[in-house]
Every structure is written in C-alpha cells, then in structure tokens.
C-alpha cells in the first residue's frame, strides 16, 4: 500500500508540474487520497428541441453539481462528459455537416477545465479505448436514466424534490441512439419522474450505486434540462459561467470584424480581459465600441412569443430612439431574421449605419458553422456601447452575462425591446448582476 501511495503521489506531482496550469482537475485524479474512489463518467443529453443557449445553461447546472460531487467521498473522481452538438433545430444551413460537433468547436476547453473536470466526447472515447482496448470503441454505459416531469408538481401545495421510477413508454429503444452515436449501449435503463435541483442527482447516484463498486462507473442522464439549478446566479454559477470562454478562433473572427467594420478595439473600448478567467475581478469600467447592438430574435419567436416580440418597424423605432439619445450612428444587428426582414430594418433606419456579421466566404461559413456564427454575433454584441435584447431569449441572456463579465455598467446592458415603441413600460428581462467571491 505504501509503495502504491508513494508512486501515485509521485505520478500526481509529475502531473502537476506538467499540467497544473492547464488542467488541475486531471491531476487530482491521481491524488493518493482519492484513488480508491471509482472514476465516475457522468454523461448527459438534452431534449433535441432545446436551443444552444439553453443547453449552455444546462451545462452550468451540471458543472456546478460535479464540482460539488467531487468533494464527496466516493465521487471525488467524477468527470463530466460534454454532449456533442448535433443539428440543432435552429441551425438552418442544411448544406453544412453539423452532426456531433464537439465543444472544442465553440468553447476553450482548457478554460472550462479550470472550473471542473470536463471531457469532450472524442476524449471520452479515447479514454474508453485506452481502458478497454477496443477500436472503434463500443461503449457499454452502466446506467442510463431518462428523466421526465412529474404530472403533479406540488404535493399539498408544496414543491418537494423527488424522483420515482416508472415504466418506460416504448422501452429504452425509443431513446436510441444515445447522443446520436450508434456504438453506445446500456447495461441498465431506468425511466424516472424527476423534480428538483442537480443535488438530487447525488441521491439518485447513491440510490443506484452498485453493491460491489466498479473501478469505473459510466452514467448517462437523458433529458437533463429537467434538472434545475441549485442556486441560480450565485458565485458558483458565475464561476462556471466565466469558465465558458469561447474558442479562440471565434474570438479572432469577432475581433477582426470589430476592428475592420466597427473601429472597435479592446484597448480603446476598455474591454481588455485577463488571459485567464480566474484572474478576473469585479469592475464596471468597460465603455464598449461606438455602436449599439440589438439582438432581434425572430423565427419561432414570431409565433410562440408574438405578444412580446416587436415588428421590424417597431424594433427600428426603438433602436432609432436609443441611437439618437446616445449620439451613436451605427447599429450592429444580431438576428435570426430573414434577409427581407433585415432589408426592411435597414430601410427604417436610413440615417444610420446598420451592419450585421456575414461570413466572407463559403469556406468561412463551413468552418464557423451556424453555432460559430451565432457566437461571433454574441461576442460583437458583448463589446457594444449599449445592448438592447429580446424579451425572454436565452441568446440575449448569455450576452447580458458576457457583458457583466467584461465589466459594463448595468444600464448599458440590461435593456429589452418592447412589443411596441408606444409602450416602453413593458415588462423587461430580469437584471442578474455578476457576483464574485
């Protein structure tokens, strides 16, 4: 035992020397004190109809949970496996291959790993192959849980955290292939009514813990959007959120567009950020470039949320009023609108410069993909002097957050378009300011 402990300590120390700056949590896996804990790979998936930015929120719920779980005996080697992004409903470029895109396409994984231990799917497969020596790997998941809401959320008027098994409608084949991969199979499949926060997953993992512990336990949670935040908007939330830095290639495209089209640079705009998110501190001194950004959510919002979504004309009038008030001449538009809607918007704003980001070539579009283009839009909006968002759009919320992280005064960020320019007292998005330790 002593020899094992010494050699594992040595291994960990070597790992730290080599890797600690990049991936501290990977080295913790070799910590002699936690070596007896099984490695728990926690995989999850989200209802296919959910959009990109809601999925980012689901990630935070699970990342915060995993960070907690890693403090619990028996779970200290938990690793979160990131579900690939596969042809999301809002991705409309059907001529591009947008299947099973890894998180590394959109996010800077080394930054995320400074919050908790995450693996992209290809890394998970590579580890699995290393452990089990199969190529191509057929992965046997030990446990799969499919979550569903309870029909009755309240018991005697009280919302209690609970889960309960039920018979799977259509059997578990109804949910295959898991995460879109044909080579994932399940040893045990359980359907559960579930209501409660991520912490309830701890109880769930305990409840189904194998009697004879395996050195490796692989668990997949389907419909993880049903799992709620433990606490939304607290320090843990913001740390996980801050760790979600975008992929450098996307930042570069946005930076170039800002410089070339909007004459906006970080130094002049006071939007400089430390290289590592862990070095960020509370500040509200950002100024932003000489442009306003409006996020105009269209498409399905025109049907599902027509009571709060303005017409193009009304949006143009609201933007115009703000541009005049702020003495700005340029508006950057982030939108899922059609070309015709954009054309109309420009016509209503003739006295101003109205710009949007369009990839310069097919090659650039194919490299960025719909998800990357949306992120470039978000980054450009995050650096604007003033931001005007869409009511109840998670796309808008993520821009609010990015601007909170960059350090803008709140009144330049938390603004919402109203249904009509005639009723500017409409209900606005909630203000959720950033918090630090």
Ligand X SMILES: C[C@@H]1O[C@H](OP(=O)(O)OP(=O)(O)OC[C@H]2O[C@@H](n3cnc4c(=O)[nH]c(N)nc43)[C@H](O)[C@@H]2O)[C@@H](O)[C@H](O)[C@@H]1O
Any contact of residue 404 with ligand X (CB under 6 A)? no
Q: From the candidates 13, 16, 50, 155, which is the catalytic residue?
A: 50
Asked if omega into 177 is within 30° of 0 (cis), the reply is yes
Question: What is the pattern of x (binds ligand X, CB under 6 A) and - over residues 263-282?
Answer: --------------------
Cα 49 to Cα 54, 59, 85, 336: the distances in Å are 10, 16, 12, 17
Any contact of residue 308 with ligand X (CB under 6 A)? no
Distance of CA 51 to the CA centre of its chain: 10
Identified binder of ligand X from the candidate list 9, 90, 270, 284, rule CB under 6 A: 90
Question: Residue 192 CB, nearest distance to ligand X (Å)?
Answer: 23
Contact yes or no for 80/39 (Cβ under 8 A): no
Applying CB under 6 A, which part among 10-18, 265-273, 292-300, 408-416 lies near ligand X? 292-300
Question: Residue 89 CB, nearest distance to ligand X (Å)?
Answer: 7
Identified binder of ligand X from the candidate list 394, 420, 428, 432, rule CB under 6 A: 394
The two three-digit tokens of residue 270, written as one number: 């006071």
What span, in angstroms and rounded, lies between the C-alpha atoms of 100 and 228? Answer: 25
Applying CB under 6 A, which part among 115-123, 157-165, 261-269, 387-395 lies near ligand X? 387-395
Q: Which helix (H) or strand (E) holds 300?
A: none
Name the residue among 380, 166, 161 with its Cα closest to residue 291.
380
Applying CB under 6 A, which part among 117-125, 233-241, 265-273, 391-399 lies near ligand X? 391-399
Any contact of residue 413 with ligand X (CB under 6 A)? no
Looking up tokens 């999850």, which residue turns up? Answer: 44
Could you confirm whether 155 is annotated as catalytic?
no
Residue nearest to ligand X (CB): 51
Cα 437 to Cα 21, 156, 271, 345: the distances in Å are 21, 38, 21, 43
Any contact of residue 334 with ligand X (CB under 6 A)? yes
Question: Residue 93 CB, nearest distance to ligand X (Å)?
Answer: 10
Any contact of residue 295 with ligand X (CB under 6 A)? yes
Question: Residue 353 CB, nearest distance to ligand X (Å)?
Answer: 18
Question: Residue 79 CB, nearest distance to ligand X (Å)?
Answer: 26
User: Beta 154-155 vs 158-159: how paired, if at all?
Assistant: antiparallel
Identified binder of ligand X from the candidate list 395, 400, 408, 414, rule CB under 6 A: 395
Q: Which helix (H) or strand (E) holds 157?
A: none
The residues, any chain, with a CB within 8 Å of residue 153's CB and separated by 6 or more, are 159, 195
Task: Sheet with 353-355: list strands edge to edge.
Answer: 353-355, 330-335, 289-296, 384-388
Nearer residue to ligand X within complex by CB, 52 or 238:
52
Strands (E), 102-238: 118-119, 139-148, 154-155, 158-159, 162-166, 184-195, 216-222
Identified binder of ligand X from the candidate list 58, 139, 186, 373, rule CB under 6 A: 373
Query: Taking CB under 6 A as the criterion, which residues in 43-72 touch ligand X?
Result: 49-54
Query: Taking CB under 6 A as the criterion, which residues in 113-132 touch ligand X?
Result: none
Any contact of residue 370 with ligand X (CB under 6 A)? yes
What span, in angstroms and rounded, lies between the C-alpha atoms of 277 and 115? Answer: 10
Query: Taking CB under 6 A as the criterion, which residues in 157-176 touch ligand X?
Result: none
Identified binder of ligand X from the candidate list 236, 336, 341, 421, rule CB under 6 A: 336
Any contact of residue 297 with ligand X (CB under 6 A)? yes
Identified binder of ligand X from the candidate list 215, 304, 409, 433, rule CB under 6 A: 304
What span, in angstroms and rounded, lies between the C-alpha atoms of 269 and 388? Answer: 18
Strands (E), 270-417: 289-296, 330-335, 353-355, 384-388
Question: Residue 280 CB, nearest distance to ligand X (Å)?
Answer: 24
Question: Considering CB under 6 A, how many residues would be counted as binding ligand X?
Answer: 22
Neighbours of 229 (CB within 10 A): 17
Number of H helices, E strands in the chain: 14, 13
Nearer residue to ligand X within complex by CB, 49 or 263:
49
Question: Residue 95 CB, nearest distance to ligand X (Å)?
Answer: 16
Question: Active-site residue numbers?
Answer: 50
Binding site for ligand X (CB under 6 A): 49-54, 90-91, 295, 297, 300, 304, 334-336, 370, 373-374, 377, 393-395
């Amino acid at each position: 035992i002593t020899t094992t402990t010494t050699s594992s300590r040595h291994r960990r120390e070597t790992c730290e020397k080599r890797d600690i700056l990049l991936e501290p949590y990977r080295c913790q896996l070799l910590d002699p004190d936690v070596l007896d804990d099984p490695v728990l790979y926690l995989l999850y998936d989200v209802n296919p109809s959910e959009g990109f930015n809601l999925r980012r929120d689901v990630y935070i719920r699970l990342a915060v949970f995993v960070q907690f779980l890693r403090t619990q005996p028996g779970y200290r080697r938990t690793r979160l496996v990131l579900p690939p992004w596969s042809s999301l409903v809002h991705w409309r470029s059907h001529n591009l291959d947008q299947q099973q895109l890894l998180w590394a396409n959109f996010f800077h994984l080394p930054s995320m790993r400074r919050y908790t231990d995450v693996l992209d799917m290809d890394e998970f497969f590579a580890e699995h192959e290393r452990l089990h020596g199969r190529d191509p790997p057929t992965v046997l998941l030990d446990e799969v849980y499919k979550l569903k809401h309870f029909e009755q959320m309240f018991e005697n008027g009280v919302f209690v955290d609970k889960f309960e098994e039920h018979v799977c409608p259509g059997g578990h084949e109804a949910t295959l292939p898991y995460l879109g991969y044909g080579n994932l199979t399940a040893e045990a499949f359980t359907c559960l009514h579930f209501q409660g926060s991520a912490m309830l997953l701890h109880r769930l993992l305990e409840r189904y813990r194998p009697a004879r512990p395996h050195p490796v336990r692989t668990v997949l949670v389907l419909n993880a959007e049903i799992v709620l935040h433990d606490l939304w908007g607290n320090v843990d939330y913001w740390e996980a959120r801050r760790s979600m830095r975008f992929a450098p290639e996307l930042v570069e495209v946005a930076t170039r567009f800002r410089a070339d089209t909007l004459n906006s640079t970080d130094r002049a705009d006071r939007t400089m950020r430390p290289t590592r998110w862990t070095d960020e501190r509370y500040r509200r001194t950002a100024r932003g470039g000489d442009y306003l950004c409006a996020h105009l959510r269209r498409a399905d919002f025109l049907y599902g949320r027509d009571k709060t979504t303005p017409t193009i004309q009304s949006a143009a009038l609201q933007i115009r009023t703000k541009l005049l008030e702020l003495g700005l001449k340029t508006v950057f538009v982030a939108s899922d609108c059609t070309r015709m809607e954009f054309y109309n918007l420009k016509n209503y704003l003739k006295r101003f410069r109205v710009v949007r980001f369009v990839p310069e070539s097919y090659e650039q579009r194919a490299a960025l993909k719909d998800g990357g283009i949306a992120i470039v839009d978000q980054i450009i909006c995050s650096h604007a002097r003033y931001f005007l968002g869409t009511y109840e759009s998670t796309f808008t919320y993520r821009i609010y957050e990015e601007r909170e992280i960059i350090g803008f005064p709140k009144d330049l960020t938390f603004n919402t378009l109203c249904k009509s320019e005639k009723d500017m007292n409409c209900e606005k998005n909630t203000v959720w300011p950033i918090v630090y330790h």
